[in-house]
């Protein structure tokens, strides 16, 4: 067993040139994240082109509500991933397995509960968010099937999250690639072949997630020396779970608050009608694809920081963060130019409606103008998460979202129309970045590690 563990040191992020280590980890992570976004992108493109803008609006409305429902488990997962990465960096491998198995059991049970609750309350939630009446029937049909597979989604992503926490990003990328291909093929079969409509898109995603979970389970059970979900290893360790909970709970609150904020923002967007909702949903998916590169840097830096803080190498964390900021600056400038020149053509992938395309391009252009701040904010947050300092990021997110973004969106929406909403989003990001940068410079985050030196 010890010999196998030595071989796993190839996933060690505490050795080698910082920029090289981060890129080697981040590139498969980026591909995996982009592939994961392909699930919703594929659904949206096929649905928008073949089922109409009302169906596309239904998927857009469903996304924000679904994100809120799974926010709790996403936050717990990020906390457990930090614990795992720090114990991995400190070479305490028995605790890696204990944290993983406890987290997996939690995700499985919670996923089942969320699936049942989401199906029961689906229609009530859409009416609560002022979803246009003509969109609700299709939104409810899509959402009930989609959320029915939540337990598959969260268990699959729990394995992916922990593998990344111990420095392994290539295998998760391969698992996601397989499920993405399956999802695209099933979308075409169910929507174009069998004529199942918007329900076919939801079924395709649920089936693909189920297959992905099975593949990931087989991998960790049969080939991975540090992780196992076999009966003899699948035990709930309360102490290790609580350690992950302490770090993850603030992130869960943060994710839930963000999701609620997105729903509140969605209500403001919905007040401008179906065209604006459709453009916001489609434009948001394009924006998500663009920001995946930055979020990947944030995720890579969190794993990098976690392992290096576990090993007591704080100078490597600072150098890794500095490199990530340089990459973010270059990427942000490039993406702004791309959106400025070709944003309307990119929107055409989702719809041929000229009004929706114009609104979507407007949204993308304003968002791209704030991309450099958005990226820098997430990179600093990645370093803080790797250190286990999630309480600060939670408070900052709550303040910037609920005290700045939502009131500002309502105010500017009334004064400037829908364009005011996009400006409010960007300005809230700038304020959050300034607060986070000042906090990082205090150095308080160094004291938050679960591994004490």
pLDDT of residue 412: 93
Per the listing, tokens 């350690």 go with 243
The confidence band for 11, taking pLDDT boundaries of 50, 70 and 90, is low
Please count the other Cβ atoms lying within 10 Å of the Cβ belonging to residue 164.
25
Q: Mean of the pLDDT values across residues 108-112?
A: 86
Report the distance separating Cα 128 and Cα 11, nearest Å.
46
pTM of the model: 0.68
Please count the other Cβ atoms lying within 10 Å of the Cβ belonging to residue 170.
15
Residue 395 has pLDDT above 90, yes or no: no
pLDDT of residue 215: 92
> What pLDDT digit, counting tens, does each position of 218-228 carry?
888 887 777 77
> What pLDDT digit, counting tens, does each position of 404-442 carry?
999 999 999 998 888 999 999 999 999 999 999 999 988
Tell me the pLDDT of the chain averaged across its residues.
83
pLDDT of residue 452: 57
Report the distance separating Cα 90 and Cα 71, nearest Å.
29
Q: Mean of the pLDDT values across residues 324-339?
A: 93
Report the distance separating Cα 316 and Cα 12, nearest Å.
13
Residue 380 has pLDDT above 80, yes or no: yes
> What pLDDT digit, counting tens, does each position of 85-102 carry?
777 777 777 787 777 888
pLDDT of residue 145: 92
Report the distance separating Cα 375 and Cα 433, nearest Å.
9
Per the listing, tokens 């998460």 go with 385
pLDDT of residue 3: 47
> What pLDDT digit, counting tens, does each position of 230-265 carry?
777 677 778 877 877 777 777 777 777 777 777 788
pLDDT of residue 4: 47
The confidence band for 121, taking pLDDT boundaries of 50, 70 and 90, is confident
Domain boundaries, the chain: 14-445
pLDDT of residue 328: 92
Q: For residue 247, give both structure tokens.
A: 């770090």
Distances (CA, A) of 359 to 8, 281, 327, 395, 419: 49, 11, 30, 32, 9
pLDDT of residue 237: 78
Q: How far apart are the first and last CA of the chain?
A: 27
pLDDT of residue 358: 92
Distances (CA, A) of 199 to 34, 126, 153, 170, 329: 24, 17, 17, 32, 41
Residue 357 has pLDDT above 80, yes or no: yes
Distances (CA, A) of 167 to 161, 162, 294: 10, 9, 18
């Amino acid at each position: 067993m010890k010999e196998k563990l030595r071989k796993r040191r190839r996933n060690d992020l505490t050795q080698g040139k910082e920029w090289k280590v981060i890129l080697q980890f981040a590139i498969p992570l980026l591909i995996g994240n982009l592939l994961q976004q392909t699930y919703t992108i594929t659904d949206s493109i096929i649905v928008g082109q073949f089922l109409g803008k009302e169906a596309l609006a239904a998927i857009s409305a469903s996304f924000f509500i679904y994100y809120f429902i799974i926010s709790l488990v996403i936050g717990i997962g990020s906390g457990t991933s930090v614990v795992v990465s720090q114990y991995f960096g400190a070479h305490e491998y028995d605790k890696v397995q204990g944290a993983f198995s406890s987290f997996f059991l939690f995700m499985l049970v919670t996923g089942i509960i969320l699936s049942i609750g989401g199906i029961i309350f689906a229609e009530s939630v859409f009416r609560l968010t002022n979803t246009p009446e003509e969109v609700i029937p299709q939104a409810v049909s899509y959402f009930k099937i989609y959320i029915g597979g939540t337990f598959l989604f969260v268990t699959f992503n729990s394995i992916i999250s922990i593998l990344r926490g111990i420095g392994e990003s290539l295998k998760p990328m391969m698992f996601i690639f397989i499920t993405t291909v399956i999802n695209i093929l099933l979308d075409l079969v169910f929507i174009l072949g069998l004529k199942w409509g918007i329900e076919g898109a939801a079924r395709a995603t649920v089936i693909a997630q189920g297959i992905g979970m099975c593949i990931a389970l087989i991998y960790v059970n049969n080939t991975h020396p540090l992780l196992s979900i076999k009966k003899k290893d699948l035990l709930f360790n309360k102490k290790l779970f609580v350690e992950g909970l302490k770090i993850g709970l603030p992130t869960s609150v943060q994710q839930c608050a963000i999701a609620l904020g997105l729903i509140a923002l969605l209500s403001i967007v919905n007040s401008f009608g179906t065209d604006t909702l459709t453009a916001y949903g489609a434009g948001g998916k394009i924006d998500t694809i663009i920001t995946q590169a930055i979020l990947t840097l944030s995720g890579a830096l969190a794993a990098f920081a976690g392992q290096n803080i576990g090993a007591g190498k704080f100078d490597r964390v600072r150098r890794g963060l500095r490199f990530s900021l340089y990459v973010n600056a270059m990427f942000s400038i490039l993406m702004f130019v791309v959106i400025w020149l070709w944003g309307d053509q990119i929107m055409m992938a989702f719809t041929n409606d000229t009004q929706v395309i114009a609104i979507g391009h407007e949204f993308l252009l304003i968002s791209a103008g704030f991309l450099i701040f958005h990226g820098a904010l997430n990179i600093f947050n990645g370093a803080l998460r790797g250190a286990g300092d999630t309480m600060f990021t939670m408070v900052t997110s709550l303040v910037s979202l609920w005290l700045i973004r939502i009131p500002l969106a309502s105010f500017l929406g009334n004064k400037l129309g829908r364009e005011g909403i996009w400006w409010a989003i960007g300005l809230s990001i700038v304020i959050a970045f300034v607060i986070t940068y000042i906090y990082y410079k205090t150095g308080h985050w160094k004291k938050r590690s679960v591994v004490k030196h």
